[in-house]
């Protein structure tokens, strides 16, 4: 290669456009890391939270149903006591 060609290439590589190229390379590298490593871990954690939440909701529903049945029985007992008094 001629000296002028090498100087032209070095000037182009060291110019303002190289900053854009480096920024694009860094962004693409971060994007790859995000898609390959961070997002799958977050998805697994979210799935676990949702599964735990579903179990908690079932337990809460059973508890509320039991309390409602007991409250209905107490109301029936109170109605019977009112009639006697």
User: What is the predicted pLDDT for the residue at 20?
Assistant: 82
Q: Does the pLDDT value for residue 1 go beyond 80?
A: no
**What would the pLDDT profile of 55-81 be if each residue is shown by its tens digit?**
889 999 999 999 999 999 999 989 988
**What would the pLDDT profile of 6-50 be if each residue is shown by its tens digit?**
888 777 777 777 778 788 888 999 989 988 988 888 889 899 998
Domain count, the chain: 1
CA gap 83, 18 in Å, rounded: 92
Determine the structural domain holding residue 18 and report its residue range. Answer: 3-84
Integer-rounded Cα Rg, in Å, for the chain is 35
- Residue 12 CA to chain centroid, in angstroms? 43
């Amino acid at each position: 290669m001629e000296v002028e060609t090498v100087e032209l290439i070095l000037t182009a590589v060291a110019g303002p456009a190289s900053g854009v190229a480096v920024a694009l390379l860094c962004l693409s590298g971060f994007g790859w890391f995000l898609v390959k490593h961070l997002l799958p871990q977050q998805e697994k954690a979210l799935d676990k939270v949702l599964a735990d939440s579903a179990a908690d909701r079932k337990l809460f529903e059973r508890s509320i149903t039991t309390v409602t049945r007991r409250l209905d029985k107490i109301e029936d007992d109170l109605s019977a006591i009112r009639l006697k008094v």
